[in-house]
Amino acid sequence: MTLQRHDCRALDQTDPLAALKTQFDLPPGVIYLDGNSLGVLPRATATRVQQVIQQEWGQDLIKSWNTAGWIDLPERIGNKIGRLLGAAPGQTLVADSTSLNLYKVLSAALSLQQARDGARKVIVSERSNFPTDLYIAASLAAQFGARLQLVDSPEEIAPLLNNELAVLMLTQVNYRSGYLHDMAAMTQAAHAAGALMVWDLAHSAGAIPVDLNAADADFAIGCGYKYLNGGPGAPAFVWVHARWIESCRQPLAGWMGHASPFQFTTDYAPAPGIRRFACGTPALLSLAALECGVDTLLAAEPLGGMAALRQKSVALTELFIALTEARCGELGVRLASPRDAAQRGSQVCLSLAAPLEHASYAVVQALIERGVIGDFRAGDPARLEAVPHILRFGFTPLYLSFTEVFDAVEHLYQVLKQQEWQAPRFAAKGKVT
């Protein structure tokens, strides 16, 4: 039988991670289930960014590149993120955006393959991958005379692991469904076929335990503004396996990736190590905010780190699924994420069965009005059965309680039971964002 609210309160009272919530400034009355889109504000961020603005920029000006360590921030924060990813120090760098970092690593991977075996001309990815990854891959495929081949399900990947495959490029946790790839197994399969493996960790970093070195991945990139709580548009990160870092080249060869940027030499010489994946001058204010976000995850290290966070995340998503099905199943709510927690990231997606399939957007809006913030992702109008409209909910164990999960389901029940979503103010207007 499913839990009652007092059971959830009891779980919260014995939750060893509960105190981590005090690191954040959450708006009152909000149950925030959208940390997979934009992480919440850490309490430390405002003060830290003010310090950068008022003291480091305003008073110390240009010398802060040295005295405040600005020049080292991309590597320093990269190393902190690396602790969440099974990376060794010096393997992870903060730079630019996720899209740009993907361009760098995918280009580097294709160049390596071109040099090793020019016949490998295929990039395989999933049609359900986050679109920017596909756009970047298509751009590079055109540039390299390669072909981007998309599959519609993970099972279709195995037959494509052949001697034409240059790079397998996957997002570990799907942004829509929350489907979680087995990083080690998939990487091993790619390598067995002679391909290189590129991982997008946008929905993994800070959400699930990742061990890039244990999985023997080749390249990885990810996002700073989701589970890492780095703030809107926070800089992204890039990781490269030690076996490639000194031999690979990336085309966005800006001065910050140069071996000696302040020698101002005419010819490009890549920096040793991961710094060669830097390009231009980093956006310092956003960079400083990112560090505060990453620190909120490192604060969990004495409590068990990502393993403990994952344990709570699974418990939260299991609870959400159980409560939703018990309470809202008869109202047409269906699970649209993997039921097996081992195949699911830190999110749960729901869809609505006919005749409610077009109510999803309005239901999400009605929930938001009630203070339960999730988001809507449109399905494929041509094949709603296969790709339904979804209600997407992220579960961040750093600041989410079991009681909030209970209350969120109760709100969903009310929205559906009382047909609140039918109010005209919840109808989609213009561009859906």
User: Does 127 contact its own copies by CB under 8 A?
Assistant: yes
Select 99 or 311, whichever has its Cβ closest to its own copies.
Answer: 99
How many degrees, rounded to 5, is the angle at CA 310 between CA 17 and CA 154?
Answer: 160
d(CA 119, CA 24): 51
Which of 80, 120, 176, 226 is the catalytic position? Answer: 226
Sign of CA dihedral 243, 248, 253, 255: positive
Residue 130 assigned to a binding site: yes
Does 225 participate in catalysis according to the annotation?
A: yes
Q: What 3-state DSSP class applies to 334? A: strand
Query: In the sheet that 196-200 helps form, which strands lie side by side, from edge to edge?
Result: 92-95, 236-240, 219-222, 196-200, 165-171, 122-126, 147-151
Select 82 or 374, whichever has its Cβ closest to its own copies.
Answer: 374
Q: Restricting to residues 139-168, which ones interact with its own copies according to CB under 8 A?
A: 139-140, 143, 150
7: Cα within 13 Å, side-chain hemisphere: 8
Buried b / exposed e over 390-421, threshold 16 CB at 10 Å, is: bbbbbbbbbbbbbbbbbbbbbbbbebbeeebb
Select 171 or 187, whichever has its Cβ closest to its own copies.
Answer: 171
User: Does 429 contact its own copies by CB under 8 A?
Assistant: no
Which of 32, 175, 225, 361 is the catalytic position? Answer: 225
Select 40 or 146, whichever has its Cβ closest to its own copies.
Answer: 40
Sign of CA dihedral 154, 156, 162, 165: negative
As measured in angstroms, the least distance from the Cβ of 376 to its own copies is 10
Find the binder of its own copies among 169, 198, 279, 350 (CB under 8 A).
279
User: Does 94 contact its own copies by CB under 8 A?
Assistant: no
Find the binder of its own copies among 3, 18, 72, 132 (CB under 8 A).
132
| Number of chain residues interacting with its own copies (CB under 8 A) | 88
Please name which of 100, 123, 98 lies closest in space to residue 252, comparing C-alpha atoms. 100
Residue 200 assigned to a binding site: yes
Give Rg (Cα) of the chain.
22
Q: Which residue has the tokens 């005209």?
A: 424
DSSP for residue 227: T
Does 417 participate in catalysis according to the annotation?
A: no
Does 130 participate in catalysis according to the annotation?
A: yes
Q: Restricting to residues 338-377, which ones interact with its own copies according to CB under 8 A?
A: 368, 373, 375, 377
Q: What 3-state DSSP class applies to 179? A: strand
- In the shown chain, the binding pattern of residues 206 to 235 toward its own copies, with x for contact by CB under 8 A and - for none, equals -------------------x-----xxxxx
d(CA 240, CA 230): 22
Residue 281 assigned to a binding site: yes
Tokens of 200: 């997008």
Q: Restricting to residues 66-85, which ones interact with its own copies according to CB under 8 A?
A: 66, 70-71
Select 30 or 189, whichever has its Cβ closest to its own copies.
Answer: 30
| Binding-site residue set for pyridoxal 5'-phosphate | 98-99, 130-133, 171, 200, 203, 225, 255, 281
Residues with a catalytic annotation lie at 130, 200, 225-226, 392
